[in-house]
Every structure is written in C-alpha cells, then in structure tokens.
C-alpha cells in the first residue's frame, strides 16, 4: 500500500476552492511530508491548479527527486524569498494562501515585500492542510496501527524488564531502546513521560533521578514513529499490590475513558465526548483533569481534531484520536490511561492493545 498523494491533493484543492485560492504555500514539515513524501529538513511547497511543486536547495535535490515522484522538484540557489520575487510574476495578480500560524512575522513581511512586483494578494490562512490531514486514508491508518503495535510490543517487554531501584531516566531510556528494537524509525517525542509515585501528579513531567520502589505506581506516556506516523499511549504500572485508593482512582479513570469512547461516532461534538469523561470523574468526587480529553494524531503527535470542553470540532469517520482522561492529586500521584481509537461509521475501533486490567499491569 502506497500513500495516496493524488487523493490528498484533490481534497486540498476542494478546500482551497472554497476559499477562492488557486495557489497555496507551505514550508511546514508535516504538511510538506503529507503532500510530497519529502523528509528533508527544509523546503517550500507551492500548490496550484497544475499540481504540486517542491522547492529545495542543492543539498536536497536528489533526495527530493527520489522521495517525491508525484511532484515537480525545483532546485533554487538563492533564499526562497529572493527566488519568489521573480518566480511569482508568472501568476501576477492571483490570490496566494499562506499559513500564518506556521511562519514567522518576519517571513510574512518578506513574502509581502517580494510579492509586490507581481501584485499578488497574499491571504492569511490557518489549519487548511491540517483539516484535510485530520481524516486519515487507509495508508495512514495502516501506518498508525504499525506504530501502535510497536509501542504495544515494547510495553509488553518493559513489564518484565523494570525493577525496583531503576531511575525514571533509566526506565525512559529502556523504553526508548525497546521501541527502537521493535522497528520504529524514531520515538514520537523526547523524553518520554516516566513518573514515579507522587511525581505522576504532573501530567507532562520530565523523568529525573527518582528511583522506583516497591509499592510505587509508575506513570508512562510514550510513542513510536513508523513511516512518519506516530503513536501515543499512556499506562500505569504498579510495583506490588495496589492500595485501595490506587485501585479506586484507576477504576474511575478507566470508567471515564470507556464513557467517552461510547460517545465517539461521526458527527459527535468533541466537547460532548470530553464532557462524558469529566462527568464520571466529578461524580466519583475527584477534580477533573485540566487538559483536553483527546487530540488527533498522525504525522504529528498532536493534530486535529481537538477534543476538549472548548473545542468546536465535530468528529468524522477516519479521524484517529487519543482518549486520555486522568486524575492528578498533588502529593499523592496521578493516573492517566490513554488509547488511540479510529472513528468508524458506527462508533470507534480501539487501535491500542496494551493491557489495562490492573492485574496485568501489576508487577
């Protein structure tokens, strides 16, 4: 199975047509990869009625030609803004969309200055390609599943490898190593969240020198990357028999996750899915998590749609999203459980297979 570049371009052009844009510029790495397959660190992409053109310097010409057969590769030997001044005269007077949320104010000023000769109308946009990317095609779903499978296998091996006395940093490195050994091209982010005991009350904690002890709980948040596509999983591991309080909080979080999953289907309002999880947490007498319930995932760990109380996004078939409620109690610790799900015609399919039953995550 290969990426459907023509299909992606077709969907993007439909979106651009609604905005009356014949031309569109991006240099965002994920959007560039989505449209061209090019993995180099720099390059501009121009979308037009004629197709997609990738502009790179001489360092990347051969790589771009090898990776991006569906697009025209144009080598430029001057800074892009200088090149753009002469190149843009070929479509004088046209409306050209650019990503105001992806480039700096200085870049905007330079583009405007270099576009004056061609009398271009530069149009600020946000999230145009990201909205197209939010609905995954079969190739993308397959890559995300491969990435999830690698993370699942790594977690299974971690469960038999972690021991009391290991530090958070050591466990984070071990998990990264296992993910690499299972076939990932890289990890989804660095460092992984590895939090021992009370440290787990900080949702985005960075691992330190705290040592894992008997009766500790260990919060993990990790992911792999396969062919550019990410996974994202959170699990809690118990070192010894969980206490009554740990069991109670864990079950509430799991119940909250399942409540949210039952609300997931095409047409569901994101804020209502989030509210379904929060309601379970609040009814159990705990303070709801401060972050959103969910985010899309794909070429980036955090993509559209956003699932939170403030989100206006509506779920669509083909979205791949996380579901990650949590309870965080300063001085005691935190518990977050996260799975990835695919929004299907009738509801959702869970892609993550790592165990959640408390007996299977107790060492």
**Statement to judge: residues 209 and 325 lie in one domain:** yes
**Statement to judge: residues 189 and 216 lie in one domain:** yes
Q: What is the CATH number of the domain that holds 226?
A: 3.90.230.10
Among the three residues 98, 133, 168, which one is the final residue of a domain in this structure? 133
What pLDDT was estimated at residue 304? 97
**Statement to judge: residues 159 and 108 lie in one domain:** no
What pLDDT was estimated at residue 69? 81
Q: What is the DSSP letter of 211?
A: B
**Statement to judge: residues 293 and 162 lie in one domain:** yes
What pLDDT was estimated at residue 348? 98
**Statement to judge: residues 19 and 123 lie in one domain:** yes
Q: Assign residue 24 a region: left if phi > 0, alpha if psi is -120 to 50, beta otherwise?
A: beta
Into how many domains does the chain fold? 2
Q: What whole-number distance in Å separates Cα of residue 68 and Cα of residue 26?
A: 16
**Statement to judge: residues 209 and 353 lie in one domain:** yes
- Residues in Cβ contact with 47 at an 8 Å cutoff, skipping those fewer than 6 apart: 9, 12, 13, 16, 23, 24, 25, 26, 35
DSSP assignments along 164-200, one per residue: TT-BHHHHHHHHHHHHHHTT-SEESSSS-EEEEGGGG
**Statement to judge: residues 194 and 242 lie in one domain:** yes
Among the three residues 85, 118, 133, which one is the final residue of a domain in this structure? 133
Q: What is the CATH number of the domain that holds 75?
A: 3.40.350.10
Q: What is the pLDDT along the chain (363 residues), one digit of tens a residue?
A: 889 999 999 999 999 999 999 999 999 999 999 999 999 999 999 999 889 999 999 999 999 999 988 899 999 988 887 888 888 888 888 899 999 999 888 888 888 888 887 788 889 999 999 999 999 999 999 999 999 999 999 999 999 999 999 999 999 999 999 999 999 999 999 999 999 999 999 999 999 999 999 999 999 999 999 999 999 999 999 999 999 999 999 999 999 999 999 999 999 999 999 999 999 999 999 999 999 999 999 999 999 999 999 999 999 999 999 999 999 999 999 999 999 999 999 999 999 999 999 999 999
**Statement to judge: residues 353 and 238 lie in one domain:** yes
Q: What is the DSSP letter of 78?
A: S
**Statement to judge: residues 222 and 272 lie in one domain:** yes
Its domain, for residue 52, covers 5-133
Listed residue (1, 73, 62, 61) closest to 35, CA to CA? 73
What pLDDT was estimated at residue 349? 98
Among the three residues 133, 167, 186, which one is the final residue of a domain in this structure? 133
Give SS3 for 113: helix
Alpha carbon distances (Å) from 5 to 23, 51, 238: 17, 11, 45
Q: What is the DSSP letter of 338?
A: B
Please answer whether residues 114 and 84 qualify as being in contact, where contact means their C-beta atoms are separated by less than 8 angstroms. Answer: yes
Q: Assign residue 115 a region: left if phi > 0, alpha if psi is -120 to 50, beta otherwise?
A: alpha
What pLDDT was estimated at residue 114? 83
Q: What whole-number distance in Å separates Cα of residue 334 and Cα of residue 239?
A: 15
**Statement to judge: residues 232 and 94 lie in one domain:** no
What pLDDT was estimated at residue 185? 96
**Statement to judge: residues 50 and 163 lie in one domain:** no
Alpha carbon distances (Å) from 304 to 8, 16, 128, 135: 16, 18, 11, 9
What pLDDT was estimated at residue 85? 84
Q: What is the pLDDT of residues 156-196, one digit of tens each?
A: 999 999 999 999 999 999 999 999 999 999 999 999 999 99
What pLDDT was estimated at residue 271? 97
DSSP assignments along 19-38, one per residue: TT-SEEEE--HHHHHHHH--
**Statement to judge: residues 224 and 338 lie in one domain:** yes
């Amino acid at each position: 199975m290969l990426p459907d570049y023509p299909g992606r371009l077709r969907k993007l052009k439909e979106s651009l047509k609604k905005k009356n844009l014949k031309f569109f510029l991006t240099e965002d790495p994920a959007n560039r990869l989505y449209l061209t397959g090019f993995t180099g660190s720099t390059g501009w992409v121009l979308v037009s009625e004629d197709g997609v053109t990738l502009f790179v310097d001489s360092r990347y010409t051969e790589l771009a030609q090898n990776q991006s057969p569906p697009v025209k590769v144009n080598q430029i030997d001057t800074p892009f803004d200088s090149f753009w001044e002469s190149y843009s005269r070929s479509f004088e007077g046209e409306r050209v969309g650019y990503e105001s949320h992806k480039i700096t104010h200085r870049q905007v000023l330079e583009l405007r200055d270099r576009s004056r000769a061609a009398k271009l109308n530069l149009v600020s946009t946000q999230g145009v390609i990201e909205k197209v990317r939010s609905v995954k095609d079969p190739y993308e779903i397959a890559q995300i599943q491969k990435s999830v499978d690698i993370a699942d296998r790594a977690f299974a091996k971690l469960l038999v490898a972690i021991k009391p006395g290991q530090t958070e940093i050591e466990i984070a490195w071990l998990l990264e190593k296992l993910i690499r050994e299972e076939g990932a091209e890289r990890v989804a982010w660095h460092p992984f969240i590895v939090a021992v005991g009370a440290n787990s009350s900080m949702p985005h904690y960075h691992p330190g020198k705290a040592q894992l002890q008997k009766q500790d709980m260990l919060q993990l948040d990790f992911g792999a990357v396969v062919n550019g596509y990410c996974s994202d999983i959170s699990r809690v591991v118990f070192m010894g028999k969980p206490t009554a309080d740990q069991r109670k909080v864990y079950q509430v979080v799991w119940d909250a996750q399942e409540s949210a999953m039952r609300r997931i289907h095409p047409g569901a309002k994101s804020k209502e899915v989030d509210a379904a999880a929060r309601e379970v947490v609040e009814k159990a007498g705990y303070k709801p998590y401060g972050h959103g319930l969910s985010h899309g995932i794909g070429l980036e760990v955090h993509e559209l749609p956003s699932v939170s109380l403030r989100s206006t996004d509506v779920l669509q078939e083909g979205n791949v999203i996380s579901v990650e409620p949590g309870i965080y109690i300063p001085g005691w610790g935190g518990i977050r459980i996260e799975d990835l799900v695919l929004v299907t015609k009738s509801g959702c399919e869970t892609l993550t297979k790592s165990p959640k039953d408390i007996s299977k995550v107790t060492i």
